[in-house]
Amino acid sequence: MRAIAKGYKSPTKLASAIGLDARSIYYYLEMLEKLDIIRTVRPLGRRKGSVVEFVDEYFRFYYSTLVEHKGLIEAGIDVTEELKERLEELVPETFERVTEQSLGLLYEKGILKTKPLEVGKWWHKGEEIDLVVRDRDSATFIEVKWGELDEREVKEILEELKEKAKKSGLMKEKNYFMVVCKRCKGGVELLKVLD
């Protein structure tokens, strides 16, 4: 779990990092998945290239942050600033996961036009789309940013997203493109929708 927290996400790299045979890593990953601590994610529309990521935020925080500072904490040394910095690094991935978990609500509220029947990520050759939502007739491609964006930045991200969507092979008859961010000038904020 420490290796996953350090960024080893592909099963083969993970096995190599911890000194296990690549074939035997799957047993341990399966156990962690059954415990709902991690999940294996495959890119939509592609058969190869799975990655492993934490589902449980506590384990993610513990193994990526607290383990490193355990000795200092036990010695009573204040590590508040270091923990704050690390939390800022962890929040974007958490925000992406919250967005994914909120797709049903976004659909109910009419913000998401595609019924979330098929949801996942897409990546290939260094390009990625944070979330792809598909139903029978439409697809919505979503970029998630933990930050404040102005209108110009949102337009640039949307243009890049459209180009990546064309390469993905996941487009449908109707296609929609969204940027979800912490604060978007002139847009709907996810956190307000979830209120």
How confident is the prediction along the chain (195 residues), in pLDDT tens digits per residue?
A: 999 998 899 999 999 999 998 889 999 999 999 999 999 999 998 878 889 999 988 999 999 999 989 999 999 999 999 999 988 889 999 999 999 999 999 999 999 999 999 999 999 988 999 999 999 999 999 999 998 888 889 889 999 999 999 999 999 999 999 999 888 776 655 555 555
Q: Could you tell me the sign of the dihedral formed by the alpha carbons of 20, 23, 24, 25, in that order? A: positive
Task: Please list the residues that pair with 122 across neighbouring strands.
Answer: 129
- Domains present along the chain, CATH in parentheses: 2-77 (1.10.10.10), 101-194 (no CATH)
CA distance 122 to 140: 12
Closest Cα to residue 161, out of 145, 138, 147?
145
Looking only at the bridges linking them, the beta strands covering 127-134 and 118-124 are antiparallel
pTM (predicted TM-score) = 0.85
CA distance 40 to 76: 37
In contact, 137 and 156? CB cutoff 8 Å = no
DSSP letter string, 25-86: HHHHHHHHHHTTSEEEE--TT-SS--EEEES-HHHHHIIIIIHHHHHHHHTT---HHHHHHH
Burial 179-188 (b: 16+ CB within 10 A, else e): bbbbebeeee
